[in-house]
Amino acid sequence: MKRTHLACCLSLAATFAAPALAQTQVTIYGVADAALAYGKSDDATYTGFIRDGGLAGNRFGLRGSEALGNGLSVVFTLEQGFLIGDGGPHRAGRAFSRQSWVGLKGGFGTASAGYQYAPGYLIPYKYQIMQGAPFLAPRSTLAFGGGYTISPASGARWDNALRYAGSFGGLGVQGIYAFHAQQSDDGSTDRADDDRWGLGLTYDAGPLALGMVYHSVGSGSDADDTQEVLIGAAYDLGVVKLVGTWSKKDADGSTAADNTLFSAGVIAPVGAAGQVHLGAAKLNPRGDDNNARAITLGYLHALSKRTKVYGVLNRLSFDDGVTYTGNPGALSTVGSPGESTNAVIAGISHKF
C-alpha cells in the first residue's frame, strides 16, 4: 500500500513538474582557439600566441530560454572572453566581457537589453575570407587601423543597449541604440554625447548574399558623431565563392580619421572538408602617403563539425606617412611606417 501511494505521489509530482522542466533550457557553450604566429618587419619580430585566438575569440558562455506560452520566450546570454595562452581575462574589470543581456523572443524577432553586439560585429564576416577573423581577414585587420566600430572587436560591443533582431524570409533586420557609458548629466557634459546607434540589413537568396551596416557613434564631447557605413556582397559560384566589402568612415573635422576601406576575396573548396582563402584589402585615410594594404592566403580544414585547423600567410604594408601601425592587431605591433610585416599563423579552433 505504501509503495502504491509513493508511486502515485511520484507520478503526480512528475506530471506537474514536467511542463516547467520542458519550458526551461540553459546551454553551456564556448570556443577554445589557439593560434601561434611569427611576424617580422625590418628588424622587429613577433613570436608567440595571438592574444585572443585566431579564427574566433575564446569564450565561455551560458545561453538560456524559458517558454512563456503563445510562442513567446525569455532569452538571455552571459558570455565571458578569456586568453587561452595564459588564462587571463579578455577585458579586465568585466565579469562578462563579450555579452550580457536578457530579452524577449517571439514571432516578431528578439528584443533585448544589456551589453550587446552592434550590427557591425555580426554582419561583415559573411562577406570576407577567413570568417572575418581580426588577425586573418584583411578587411578586419585594417578596420582596427581605420578606427572602425564596424569590426569584430570590442568597439562593436555596446554598453547599456536596446537591440532588436528579426528575420523575415531572406531578409534580416538588426537595430540597436546604446546609452553607453555616460548615463547622467553633471552640468558640464551632456548625457547623450556618447550615445550610439546602428542599423543592419542582410538579404540571402540562393547563391547571393548582400548586407549593409550603418553606425553613428557619439564622441563623448561636443564633437560631431562619427558616421560609419559598410556594404558587403558574396556570390557562390559553386567552384568558388566571391566576397567583397566597401566601407567609409566620417569623423569630426577633415582629418586622417576619415577614410575608406575596400576588400575583395575568393574562397575555393578543396575536397569535402577544406577551403583555400585568398583576399586583399586597402585602407585609404584622408591625406597623402598614409595608406595601408593587407593580403592573406589561408587554408581552413574541418576535422569535424565543431573543430577546424587553419594556416595563414599574411602581408601588411604601410606607407611612409601612416600613424596607426600599432592598431591593426598583435602582429602589426612590429610594423612601422614605410615597412611591411610578413606573418605566418597556424592554429586550431574548437566550438563546444
**Cell numbers for 260:** 575608406
All residue ranges of the chain with pLDDT < 50 are 1-22, 330
pLDDT at 119: 98
Residue type, 156: A
Q: What DSSP assignment string belongs to 44-62? A: EEEEEE-TT-SSS--EEEE
pLDDT at 257: 86
The superfamily CATH assigns to domain 25-351 is Porin (2.40.160.10)
Residue identified by cell 505521489 is 9
Domain ranges of the chain: 25-351
pLDDT at 303: 98
Which residues, at least 6 apart from 135, have a Cβ–Cβ distance to it below 8 Å? Answer: 35, 37, 50, 54, 141, 314, 329, 330, 331, 345
pLDDT at 135: 84
pLDDT at 336: 79
CA proximity to 90, closest of 154, 148, 155: 154
Angle 77-30-96 from CA coordinates, rounded to 5°: 45
Q: How far is CA 335 from the centre of its chain?
A: 24
Q: What DSSP assignment string belongs to 199-247? A: EEEEEEETTEEEEEEEEEE--SSSSPPEEEEEEEEEEE-SS-EEEEEEE
- Under a CB-based contact definition with an 8 Å cutoff, are residues 176 and 162 in contact? yes
pLDDT at 327: 61
Strands 340-351 and 24-41: antiparallel
pLDDT at 111: 98
**Cell numbers for 285:** 585615410
Q: Which SS3 state, helix, strand or coil, does residue 351 take?
A: strand
What distance in Å separates the CA atoms of residue 214 and residue 226, rounded to the nearest whole number?
11
CA proximity to 218, closest of 258, 253, 251, 254: 251
What distance in Å separates the CA atoms of residue 264 and residue 279, rounded to the nearest whole number?
6
CA proximity to 57, closest of 273, 332, 329: 329
pLDDT at 25: 93
pLDDT at 14: 44
